[in-house]
Amino acid sequence: MTSTVDLGAGAVLVLNGEEWTVERTEPQLGRVVLVNTGGERLPVTIRFLMHHPDCRQSTRLGGSVAAGRGRQDPTTDDLTPQQQALVGLRLAHLLEVETGFRGGDPLRPEPGEPRAGFDPASTTVTQRRHAKVAELAALDPDQARLLGLDKVGYRTLIRWENRRRQVGALGCADDRWLRPRSGHPSVNEMVREAVFTVQAESLHRSRMSLRTRERLIHQYIREQHGPDMVDQIPSYQTLRRVWHEWFGSGGGRQRYVRSAAKPTSGQHVVIHRPGQVVAMDTTILPVKVRETVFGDPVSVHLTLALDIHTRSLVAFRLTLVSDSSVDVAMVLRDIMMPLPMRPDWGEELEWPYPGLPANVVAEFAGHRVAGLPFFAPETVTTDHGSVYRNHHLVEVERVIGANILPARVLRPTDKHAVERVFGSIRSLLFEVLPGYCGVDVYDRGADPEADATLTIDAMEHLIATWIVSVFTDRRCPDYASDLR
């Protein structure tokens, strides 16, 4: 499994430690013309390059695989015997796609080759690739996983072939099988201390360039370790790579970089019981409804409360105008109170949860209770809308004993669950209702206002029925628990 060298125009080779660029290749003469950075041309034969003891592909332009970029090229010795066998199996599949023969040589076919669907005389490479993808997809999932062929697609075959042309059979190996990089030997403990000190200081200062950070690193080492230690500081390019590897590209705004660097920003809250965290958010209902006075089509606001543990919608509210702190406070009340059964709801929507009989809950509430969880929320997560920061709502949350955990600015992952629920309700319910407006004006129908038929009360009843009968009752295998 020796590596191959690209001799195409523009490829960069290294001869005796000096880089040469391929100016042109004359395969009919077996000759290659190389040119160095000084403009000097060197015509050599392909035979000379094949037998040269110090001729290799330059890694500067990606001649090596990703795991070996910028250092010694990986070899088959970096693979275990099992991984070498998997590489040979992948190579056989790849050669059958490219040539129709698993050995890659039409003059030495194996029994039964070429197989139907892989005959190069009657199929194209694209057809053979699709046939190979279908063949691998038909394998037993467990066997395909053991052979490393469970996620091979059309583009995977193309990527393997491109890498095989560059580095040989090793191009079919997974980069994660190869040895990890050894780090940066020039970054000693002194430089590491300086880098982390400058990074901590730069969080509290205004945004600065990486060149300025480099000067601060030099200044720190001169002050702490003396001018003689400046020679041990690596180059700017090395510091740049180290900074990107340790702290990222630094493309964020300084205000949000500081908030992301807080000690609690990287900690995950393990939610293991209902009511531990409830996420709330408000959006415009994407369905036009008719108001009850004049019957005109209007837009209403939908406020949702989602229990993060069970992924159940524990409360909602529709408001004709923008919601206020009173409306959100009523949503908190609905979270804590059992939902009454409505006249047209059947017994299948009544309280179904084991451990607490329905008659006990009905006696406690004074009415028949629908199958929707209720509890006192421990933590309420909201965005930074003015309604959620209102002093009245903050006082309501304090009285009921709930902790307020506002999401960080421009951090949608802090309450991504409720954002995803809005999209789920839109695709599962709102898109099939008359008067649906789409996600924006460019996806809107010709006249959604004229299509609106439901009133606000009818829409509220429809959403409540759908939440209890469909959303709460559906299985959610991706999460820890299912309510029903």
Write the pLDDT tens digit of every residue in 399-458. Answer: 888 887 777 665 666 677 888 888 888 888 999 998 888 877 777 888 888 888 899 999
Residue 388 pLDDT exceeds 70: yes
The residue among 130, 152, 177 that closes a domain is 177
Residue 1 pLDDT exceeds 50: no
Average pLDDT over residues 257-264: 59
Identify the pLDDT of residue 413: 65
> Is there a single domain that holds both residue 404 and residue 464?
yes
- Residue 179, Ramachandran bin (φ over 0: left; ψ between -120 and 50: alpha; else beta): beta
Task: Look at residue 461 and tell me if it is in a domain.
Answer: yes
Average pLDDT over residues 311-333: 87
Spatial CA neighbour of 11 closest among 47, 49, 66, 48? 49
Task: Look at residue 342 and tell me if it is in a domain.
Answer: no
Least confidently predicted of 122-131, 136-145, 222-231, 255-264 = 255-264
Least confidently predicted of 7-16, 99-108, 212-221 = 7-16
Q: How far is residue 268's CA from residue 245's CA, in Å, rounded to a whole number?
A: 23
> Is there a single domain that holds both residue 169 and residue 291?
no
Identify the pLDDT of residue 65: 45
Q: What is the mean pLDDT of the chain?
A: 82
Identify the pLDDT of residue 4: 64
Average pLDDT over residues 352-373: 84
Spatial CA neighbour of 217 closest among 196, 186, 244? 196
In this structure, are residues 316 and 372 in contact, taking their beta carbons and an 8 Å threshold?
no
Tell how strand 278-284 and strand 379-381 pair up. parallel
Identify the pLDDT of residue 61: 43
Range of the domain at 142: 76-177
> Is there a single domain that holds both residue 462 and residue 379?
yes
> Is there a single domain that holds both residue 385 and residue 322?
yes
Identify the pLDDT of residue 479: 44
Spatial CA neighbour of 303 closest among 281, 324, 285? 281
> Is there a single domain that holds both residue 172 and residue 147?
yes
pTM for this predicted structure: 0.49
Least confidently predicted of 166-175, 240-249, 325-334 = 166-175
Average pLDDT over residues 356-379: 86
Calculated CA dihedral for residues 90, 91, 96, 97, nearest 10 degrees = 70
How open is the CA angle 35-36-37, to the nearest 5 degrees? Answer: 130
Average pLDDT over residues 249-278: 68
In this structure, are residues 353 and 310 in contact, taking their beta carbons and an 8 Å threshold?
no
Least confidently predicted of 166-180, 298-312, 349-363 = 166-180
- Biggest alpha carbon–alpha carbon distance for the chain: 97
The residue among 230, 260, 290 that closes a domain is 260
Identify the pLDDT of residue 197: 93
CATH of the domain at 304: 3.30.420.10
Average pLDDT over residues 335-356: 86
Task: Look at residue 270 and tell me if it is in a domain.
Answer: no
Residue 69 pLDDT exceeds 70: no
Task: Look at residue 361 and tell me if it is in a domain.
Answer: no
pLDDT digits (tens, 9 = 90+) for 456-476: 999 999 999 999 988 887 765
> Is there a single domain that holds both residue 327 and residue 199?
no
Task: Look at residue 184 and tell me if it is in a domain.
Answer: no
